[in-house]
Amino acid sequence: MLRTADLSVEKIHKLLEEATEFSKDKVLKATSEIYVANLFFEDSTRTKTSFDVAERKLGLNVVPFDVSASSVNKGESLYDTVKTLKSIGIDLCVIRHKKEKFYDEFKNIDISIINGGDGTGNHPSQNLLDLMTIQQEFGDFKGLKVGIVGDVKHSRVANSNAEVLRKLGAKVYFSGPEEWFDEGTIINGTYLSIDDLVKEVDVVMLLRIQHERHDNDKKMKFSADKYHRKFGLTKEREKAMKEGAIIMHPAPINRGVEIDADLVECSRSRIFKQMENGVFARMAILKTALEAKGFEFK
């Protein structure tokens, strides 16, 4: 599971069906010993923890891996780290790394790899849980209007969601500081001001400012208050949203920056529902990846 966009529409719907079944307390356990490791080279709360919970719910053996105490700090390459884990019996690795397409170097290693986020590239498990949340609300994606607001240029969440939502028949709009958009993004989506966007879309998907990816780009620095006033979801903008429209955010949330603090848990918000769905979506991904390697669940 490297890029959701590489999957067929049929396969995406199948994963969503699996995730929905898990959300209804469907219990499945691995019928044999399966060993998995979560390698997170960037900070994470939701993704890492929900993969851990998903793995344990499926009866998998989770082998602790602490990047800060690993041989990576002695100069070991990512390839050799994964090759080592495979050699000692790990069947599947969930990996988050700052390098885009880090997974390309593992083609000669017979091990299941799940992309937990690759730089500014893709975030397939976040994409699936977002799709699950939208499907629960609207039933289908065809004709749906989704607005992605914020740091699109540096967001793997935006990349994954925009590409797959269009594939499923939704129309994607963008908003935020215009210097955070490249030509490809504008061509493949419609840019609107935040005030116009909130009136148009069924889903307002807010993005965190990726401060850690702006180190060498001083012109992209904004004060929290200025960003919130110009590009954030304020209480006034929430009131202009369509009836039945929902608010989403992959988190972590900067309250008072991309979204007013009082809107994080308002009746439109599905932010914590997304987190809940994250476990079920990741269970579906893990099960599907391991079944492709011949493992069984009952």
Annotated binding site for L-aspartate: 74, 156, 208
The alpha carbon torsion through 95, 100, 103, 107 (nearest 10 deg) reads -170
End-to-end CA distance of the chain: 22
User: Which residues fall in the annotated binding site?
Assistant: 46-47, 74, 96, 123, 126, 156, 208, 251-252
| CA–CA dist 197, 191 (Å, integer) | 8
> Torsions phi, psi of 172, nearest 5?
-110, 130
At residue 247, φ and ψ (nearest 5 deg) are -110, 135
Distance from the Cα of residue 170 to its chain's centroid: 18
**Cα torsion 101, 158, 270, 259: sign:** positive
Helix, strand, or coil here: 58? coil
Question: Residue positions in the annotated binding site for carbamoyl phosphate?
Answer: 46-47, 96, 123, 126, 251-252
